Amino acid sequence: MKKISLVHLAHARSGDKGDTANVGVIAYDPLNYGLLKERLTPEAVKAHFGSMVAGEVERFELPNLGALNFLLHGALGGGGTMSLMNDAQGKVFSTALLRMEIEVPDDVAAAAEGRGRVPEGWTPGASG
């Protein structure tokens, strides 16, 4: 077993509904969906965010998309125009969750290495 950052195993998108942020986490490799489901329990995600999430963390499963959806209640300082946060609409909670470190089998860790990050030496204009 090896501890690696979730950013190498999944991509994500987040948004807001009032004072609740949602983060959808999508496995890069659908075969890792089960592993993510096992590691990313609502309790583990709540513990990861600590004081950033005042309320409960709810989790919903979308096995059809290889995705998990998390609702982070009380995460946006009141939400909408009430919030004083730079990220009042929770747009970057996605990568905040991907910072989480989880234990994975060695072969999964090896296959995931470097995934999810810009390759070294890349500059805008290098592709596209």
Partner 1 sequence: MPSDEQMVRVASGQGFWGDDLEAPVRQVEGGPVDYLMLDYLAEVTMSIMQKQRARDPQAGYARDFVDLMERIFVRCIEGGIRVVTNAGGVNPEGCAAALVDAGRRAGVAGRAKVGLVTGDDLVDRLEELIDAGHELANMETGEPLSSVVDQVQSANAYIGAAPIVEALRAGADVIVTGRSTDTALTYGPLMHELGWSEDDHDLVAAGVVAGHINECGAQCTGGNCLIDWWTIPDMAAVGFPIIEMSPDGSFVVTKHPGSGGRVTRASVTEQIVYEMGDPTTYITPDVVADFTTIELEDLGDDRVRVHGVKGGPRTDFLKVSIAYSAGWKATGTLTYGWPDAAAKARAADRILRERLDRLGLAFDEIRTELVGWDSTHGPLVGEPPPNLPEVQLRVGVRSADRDGVERFTREIAPLVLTGPPSVTGFAGGRPRVQEIMAYWPALIRREAVESELRVEVRDV
Contacting positions for partner 1 (CB under 8 A): 11-13, 15-19, 22, 24, 26, 28, 48-52, 60-67, 69, 71, 77-82, 84-87, 91-92, 94-96, 99, 116, 118-119, 122, 126-128
Q: Give the nearest distance from C-beta 49 to partner 1 in angstroms.
A: 8
* CA 24-124-114 angle, 5° bins: 50
105 touches 29 (CB < 8 A): no
Compare residues 93 and 106 and give the one whose CB is closer to partner 1.
Answer: 93
Compare residues 13 and 39 and give the one whose CB is closer to partner 1.
Answer: 13
73 touches 55 (CB < 8 A): yes
Q: Give the nearest distance from C-beta 100 to partner 1 in angstroms.
A: 9
Compare residues 67 and 112 and give the one whose CB is closer to partner 1.
Answer: 67
Q: Which two tokens stand for residue 45?
A: 């995600």
Q: Give the nearest distance from C-beta 68 to partner 1 in angstroms.
A: 9
DSSP string, 34-72: HHHHHH--HHHHHHHHGGG--S-EEEEEEGGGTEEEEEE
Distant-in-sequence, close-in-space partners of 32: CB < 8 Å, separation ≥ 6: 9, 10, 104, 108
Compare residues 64 and 106 and give the one whose CB is closer to partner 1.
Answer: 64
